[in-house]
Structure 1
Amino acid sequence: MQDIHVTDGRLRSLGARLSRTRSAIWAVMTLERLWPLLLPFVLLLGLFLSLSWFGVFRMVPEVGRFILLGVLGLAALAALIPFRHLRFPEREEIDRRIEGANKLQHAPISTQTDRLASGVSNPFADALWREHQKRMAEKLASLHADLPSTNIPERDPFALRAAVALLFVVAAAYATGPYGGSVRDAFHAPVPSSEAITARIDAWVTPPPYTGRAPVFLTADVNRDKQEFTVPENSTVSVRISSGSGEENLTLTDANGEQQVVEPEEGSTAGAAQFSQVLVGESSVTLADGSRELSTWHFKIIQDAPPVIRFEKDPRRAANGALELSYFVQDDHGVTKAEAQFGLVDENPNAKPLYDAPEMPLSLPRRSSKDNVAKVAKDLTEHPWAGREVELKLTATDAAGQTGESETKTFTLPQRSFTNSLARAIVEQRQVLALDANQKRRTMAMMDAVLLWADETITNPAHFLLLSSIRSRLGFARNDEALRGVVDDLWEIALIIEDGDLTAAERRLRDAQEALKQALENGATDEELKRLMDELRTAMRDFLREFAERAMQNPQDLAQAPEGQMMNQMDLERMLDQLEDLARSGAREQAQDLLSQLQNMMNNLQAGRPQQGQQGQQNSQMRQQMDQLGEIMRRQQELLNETFRMDREQRGQQGQQGQQGQRGQQGQQGQQGQGQQPGQGQGMTAEEFAEALRQLQEGQGQLRDKLQELTEALRGMGMEPGEGFGEAGEAMGEAEGALGEGEGQRATGEQGRALEALRRGAQDMMQQMQQAMQQGQDGQDGPGQRAGRADRDPLGRPRATTGPDFGDSVDVPDEIDIQRAREILDAIRRRLGDALSPELEREYLERLLEMR
């Protein structure tokens, strides 16, 4: 049974191979019979195309063209007559061709399908016949097809077919030239040759002047054989005819096929005419003499796109208080004008403004500029819109009158800051009056209120006289011009009140603070920041010296300050040092916040606002608990810094010892005292490091006990400690355990979590205290106002009665964050100093430094 299955499989494979060979032989035999019959027709077709491309049908007369077409047509029909004898190969023919191609004897293919002639079944004869079929089948194991043989050389012994093919190739190449013909010439009557044109034709296209392009002469020798031209939009095509017949006409055909007859210009005569037409879209211009076409030009138009203008950076305040804009301007042929358009966000439609929107023309980038970016700055702090929220849109206009607009930016227009409360009030009322003249009575009422209580609001008699005078002028103002004069004078009076009593030291301090603020915002270099910090230090010392001299002359001011909150120059010096460290380490945002706090402190000090807070009425026990909490937070910060320093030093020693062990420079002992990092001095031994960790562990445990005592004391006072204290205690315990196991990195993370939880708990505790204070107030001030004034000293710092500064006013990075930032910056600078660094990497690192 196994042999039978194998035999059946071989027979199926043999049948598939035989079927494929038969298909291939059928195609070969069909091609051999078809190609000799088809070749005459193909040669006639190639001859027809060759004659057409050579332009024969265009050059012969009409009768000759018809005769030639008739001869070729009859020849083509005669070439198709032999197709009636075409006969496709039969299966027997295919099998004989296979046997002949493969040189097979005894007809093995037909043997596979033949049957015994005897009708009586004879087992021996059947077995013998199957054995014969099997042996014949073995000869069919490697069949292959045959190549076609058309016998064309015997039918064309002179190889005329090659001449037709060569003629076809040459004609195809000739047809691509200017004198080549077309197949259409065989079926269209040839255009009769016209008489020589004696008229002179001059045609040219003049682009618009703002494009800066030269005219294109259509009838010049280089353009005589050219019919398609690409010109800018609004170009003018001009055609001038001399010595013409007088019947010349010019027709413009647009892209939609609509025709427009161009009238000749004034002054044209029968012998000399001139035509002009502006091209606004893709079109064709045809010059004809009566019904005879002389020339046709096709024009593709380069559209004049409107200018593009957009903000390169957001509008910002410059160092001198001016509005600074950086923008991108581009146009295909150049921009002629650009300006900034302002609009108020919350403008009252019923208002009667005295001033229009600010005007701010924009400078245009140079034509040689590669980035098409320009900058402009203008001081708008004096405009009545200063300090209001405005919408700004940039517009650009090109020479064609097209206008491009940028996106709209909404921001607050820069204004001058006034520290004097009276000056601020005057500027505010000036703005109200300038934005709406109908508010005249309201402004007069506000000024009357100030003048009525002059003893409490105006300290300088000269200021009182100035306000009284301007109040009288405002009352007599009857038109917009007079009101604008009052608005201008109000600005001058505010400046006198703000700056008139400032000493030189105060002015220098304010200017130094403002210059440093702008430098931080604009990303100044480290050298520039260092110079500005030195100026701020000098101005601060001069101001404090002057303030101390005035305090000596007025001891009663010092007596009003709460105990323990006298100004300390060392505190300010530490604050300046921290500000400089933040700026140089890349933490520019935190440096700006710290500078803002410093400015508020100085403003409060200049305003002379020492106040008696209500904190003196609080329980002394509460004050002690707050001080204890501040001490816990300070000690936790010290433990965090010390743990981080020791862990980093120890890991650095281990890494250095591992490198030295690989180099064979040390023995197998690898003591801790031998691992020394550059610039860090001698390291600690393993015993010293273990002892240091044990001390830190003890300190952490003691700190946790103190926090537990503080929590119980707060509960005894009727206050419920927040979740922050509980989380802090848990984190302290985890840090204590990590220190005991020598895991400095995990201990650092837990200590940082404990410090953050302490800050949250302190904030919750302060909120509870404020709520208790508000419940006990006598109602003279609002809760928010009274609490806001009572918890700050003249320097703007929390009073001693409210506990220490918990770090919630300014997010200042701790020592670890600053150290990491410095290490990153140093690594970037070292990489930049490597001469082998790729250019792409150097550009990326430089961008990183600029992002600070």
Structure 2
Amino acid sequence: MSILSKPDSPVDLSALRTPARLTLLGLWAERITHAFWPLWTVGLVIWTVLAMGVLSDLPLEAAWGATLAGAGALIWSLIFAYRRFSAPKYADALERIDLTMPGRPVTAALDTQAIGASDAASQEIWHAHKARMQARLAEARAVDPDLRVSKADPYALRYVALLFFALAVGFGSLLRTGSFDDLTPGLGGQAIAAGPAWEIWIEPPAYTGKPSLYLNDVKVSELDVPVGSDLTVRLYGQVGSLALNETVSGAAPTAEGEVPQTAFTRKVNRSGTVAIEGGDEDKAWQITALEDSLPTIAADGEVERKVDGEMALPFRATDDYGVEFGTATISLDLASVDRRYGLALEPEPQESIVLDLPMPISGDRADFSEVVIENLSEHPLATLPVTIDLQVTDSSEQTNAPTQVQTELPGRRFFQPIANALIEQRRDLLWNRDNAKRITQILRTITYDPDDYFPSEVAFLTVRMAITRLELAREFDQITDEKQAEIAEMLWRAATLIEDGRLDDARERLRAAQERLSEAMEQGATSEEIAELMQELSEAMRDLMEQLAQEGQEGGEQQQAQNQQGQEITGDQLQEMLDEIQRLMEEGRTEEAQALLDQLMEMIENMQVTQGQQGQGQPSPGEQAMEGLQDTLREQQGLSDEAFRDLQEQFNPGAQAGENQGNEGRNGGQGRGQSHENSPGQEGEGGENQQAEGEGGGQDQRGEGSLADRQQALRDELNRQQRNLPGQGSPEGEAAREALDRAGEAMERAEDALRNDETAEALGAQSDAMEALREGMRNLGEAMAQQQQDGQGQQGQNAGRANNQRQDPLGREQGTNGMIGSEDNMLQGEDARRRARDLRDEIRRRSGEQERPEIERDYLRRLLDQF
């Protein structure tokens, strides 16, 4: 039954008037959308094609094909709309509202009673029902239309067409939607587009940062544009009515009979003219093409060097549009090298050092100054003449010719003569490994008398190990790149130990700082180096005053630093003297500065005499154990030297024992290793008995069996020392015992190899034993430091005794109260061992990443050696 059928009682539909009208409008929108969406989609696409001038860019056949395709799509969309569209009626709106309400009140209000019309009770119920439905009509609301067509358009083509239309509005011309005269080139005709009949843009390259030029709006006739700019032309109207005449691109003119292009883009490659011919009036512009100049770079001062070898190279780079990146390539300047001594041989090939130049993070890169800062003090080219080629590249990938800087590659300054000699031999080894024989001879000369020339026992043992490994590698012609780098690293480590001193208290650090400063003044060091050494002296002076104050508190007295006349000396007075020394140095009055420095050090010595008599006592058990392990390590090094010489003599049977090539003992005789002077009976006990040296001194009367017995005695001595080792129960102490156990096992393997005449295998085992001994000593030192820290405040006497020890067995500096290392709180409350493990794991992870540069991975591997 129709929803507008005649009801059997009066009905008031006034409440439905407004909702029904709104719903009817929504039905119109819904049916138009569902029927006509293909039509306006096709219309938007056609409009976009015409507004963007696509037909003008297509060949004639393709343009006709596109036109026919567009017309066919338009006809299909009209047929689709005709079949799908039907005009909505008022009754459709009421039915839509009725479907959304519970009980369908509109239908019920307009309905008639089918049965029971003669029954009064039935009629009362029917009228009550219709009254409720009539009341419910007041709740009617307009129904929203369903405008979704996603099921009919699953690929959202309507939105794609809308996007194209938006692009046409922004970049096309809605008033000039193309001309169908393009499809009929021979018919002539007039341009039907409104406004100008042509459009021209000039768009500079993006890296220039210059804006685009719309020539239709340009009032001047002379323009400067960068080379490489895009010249875009659009000609509207009948084909051939307008023509472009340009000489900036170098393109050939349109051949006779060829259809002229109406839309194209060309590059501005040179200066010339751009002219539009035809139309109401001709238009022409004179274009000046601006060449992109090459970037430039130059050193902005001298290469600066700090005491630690850090290099600073200031430079200035310019470009008309901006520098993109740059490099500094460091190569050996062989012609400027003083080819004497170890540098007389031809150098081995060395890869050039390539450093990335720092660029400004923000701001203009057209003209800027920066500084290359790098520490290359450990590189083989350090301290040698080099050439630094500076190159920069701009955004157009143009690179300048290299700007060359000739200088000496900065390296660390070593003022200690022994350290300087070790660095020189390291340089010669990295220059050419054929210098190995000469290097071993010089190193043996340097280590002739370690008590007088080597302030560090660890440095001496490191050099001896380097000599052994270098001679063994040279004997078998196996000085590989890895072995060369390993020995060079050992020499560097020994030199830095000697130069830095590894002194144990503030007084010794102060004396070392004074000596370094005096030598720097004599050698004419730079003002920057003098400033750094003065800072080092000042810090050592401050540490000394703090130590004197601490000693006075531990002794139960309030003491004051005094000179010989009993006058009190304050820290301010000492600082004033330091400032005066620095002022004299800056004024070039070196002799007066040296005299004042000597006076200052004399005052320091007097202060030491006043305070130095306190805290003397017997070495602690830990110190005694450490000294014993030092002796064991030294004797193991001597046994290793003797075994190596025996191995040399096996391969040179024609020579007398101990007279092999380059076989010189520490005291100058042939065939004597580090411990050749010790009597057999004292080797196992770590004694210091000296045997009278014969004239030849070259005949080893102990033989292989004697060497094996001495190795066994040394192992027994190590076992005895382990029983008295302190630090039991602590993690550091247990680690020291474990390392010494490994050392004992390695000694046992060396003893068995010596008894079986397997000297090469014995050398390897002895090397393992020495490494394990060093590790055990390091762990024992940490255990002693932990015990001293735990006992601080309750064992002041033991702490005062530790302060008087000049240097710990591992060559590390001591602070106040016997604490090893820096007195500053570097950890700020965190667990040092945990942080060390985390750092070691991170370094190990990075060293295994193959994508990292080789020089970085070599550096990480050297860091791992320290762990």
Which has the larger share of helix?
1
For this structure pair, what is the TM-score category when the shorter chain's length is used for normalisation? Answer: 0.3 to 0.5
- Which structure would you say has the larger Rg? 1
TM-score by length of 1: 0.36
TM-score by length of 2: 0.36
